Amino acid sequence: MLDNQKDNDISSIISDDFSYEDINFFDLEKPILEKFLYSMLLIRSCEYKIAEAKKEGLIKGPVHLGVGQEAIAVGIAQNLIKTDRVFGAHRSHSHLLSINQNIHALFAEVLGKVTGFSKGMGGSMHLSNPEKGFYGSVPIVTGTVPLALGAGLAAKLQNSGDIAVAYLGDGATEEGVFHECLNFAKISNTPILFVIENNLFSSHMHISLRQPEETTIRFAKANNIKCELVNGNDVNSIYRVSSSCIEEMRKRPEPFLIEAITYRWFGHVDWREDIDVGVSRSKDDIANWKKKDPIKLLKEAMIHNSYWSISEQESLEDKIQKEITSAWSKAMNDPYPSKDDLLQNVYE
């Protein structure tokens, strides 16, 4: 756990000049690093494809893109098993793709096709794939956190060793139910991992205009929940921190909170970088954060540390582009649900 002085100092976690030289490999070997890079690149390429299609008017519903934030879900997912119970929110493409790389099902979902993750009924903000451990995402901010808590408590009562994961944003910590969940998680020793993706914004509003500190980890401390503040743009660090806490949680059920500092490149919703809802943000900020791109950092660090060559990377990028093109054209050709399907998933 970090000491109090550093707790609200974002620059001590990810400084302005953070570079590939600061990436720690711990004892990670080439296959796992390749896996990280593949997953992050796949998620990003997928979201760029969705951005392009949204711009062209091919996607009807809103899309909340997490470009720039890929390292968090990828680092955490490496420690999860199929029977864990993961919950997302409105910006959850990465949360689902990090545990199931079926990009065709995501494309089909945002296009409203029957082959989508939620049979084309949900769109980008209602993703569901319980067979792989992804129990759902919804646009109601913080709405899934109490559901994750219930799923974690069930795992404890079933003595299964499984854990629940609740992904939420910095803005979601401003909802009262989050605090009730922290309290109950602690008092009931529920194995739930709260993952706060602190991208510094809630819609258009910077955290400094909304909270007394730029980090939110103090909420875990107030509830005696073990916690760690990490650089959300460093997949190796996220993997390492989550691996040790998840191992502990499986042995002895208890909650844990990870706050990952990151930044999203696009505006709150849809594909534009330079605008947000209402208030614009500085283009310099975006440029500075792009220098700390989690994918670029890992690529550069791997090359400089001779984990692999530029040509190996290029062939990985080619492979991903081919996967994107083929999954997209398959999804475009898939059918829409029929009218008879409309009430199939409605609870009465």
Ligand X SMILES: Cc1ncc(C[n+]2csc(CCOP(=O)(O)OP(=O)(O)O)c2C)c(N)n1
Number of residues that bind ligand X (CB under 6 A): 14
Is 162 in contact with 191 (CB distance < 8 Å)? Answer: yes
Q: Which is nearer to ligand X, 160 or 211 (CB)?
A: 211
User: Quick one: which of 7, 109, 170, 276 contacts ligand X (CB under 6 A)?
Assistant: 170
Q: Which is nearer to ligand X, 171 or 255 (CB)?
A: 171
CB atoms under 10 Å from CB of 326, counted, come to 12
Q: Which is nearer to Mg ion, 134 or 201 (CB)?
A: 201
Give the whole-angstrom CA distance, residue 140 versus residue 182: 18
Cβ at position 27, least distance to ligand X in Å: 32
User: Quick one: which of 86, 141, 165, 229 contacts ligand X (CB under 6 A)?
Assistant: 141
Collapse the DSSP code of 101 into the 3-class scheme (helix H, G, I; strand E, B; otherwise coil) and give the result.
coil
Cβ at position 137, least distance to ligand X in Å: 11
- Region of 3-11, 108-116, 200-208, 314-322 interacting with ligand X (CB under 6 A): 200-208
- Region of 27-35, 134-142, 231-239, 333-341 interacting with ligand X (CB under 6 A): 134-142
Give the whole-angstrom CA distance, residue 33 versus residue 302: 8
- Interface mask toward Mg ion for 186-225; x: CB under 5 A: -------------x-x------------------------
* Pairing of the two strands 205-206 and 201-202: antiparallel
Looking at the chain, list the stretches that DSSP marks H as alpha helix, in order from N- to C-terminal side. 4-7, 10-13, 30-55, 70-77, 93-97, 103-110, 145-157, 176-187, 218-222, 235-251, 283-291, 294-304, 310-333
Taking CB under 5 A as the rule, does residue 68 contact Mg ion? no
Task: Kindly state the tokens that stand for 163.
Answer: 């854990």
| Interaction site with ligand X (CB under 6 A) | 90-91, 139-141, 169-172, 199, 201-203, 268
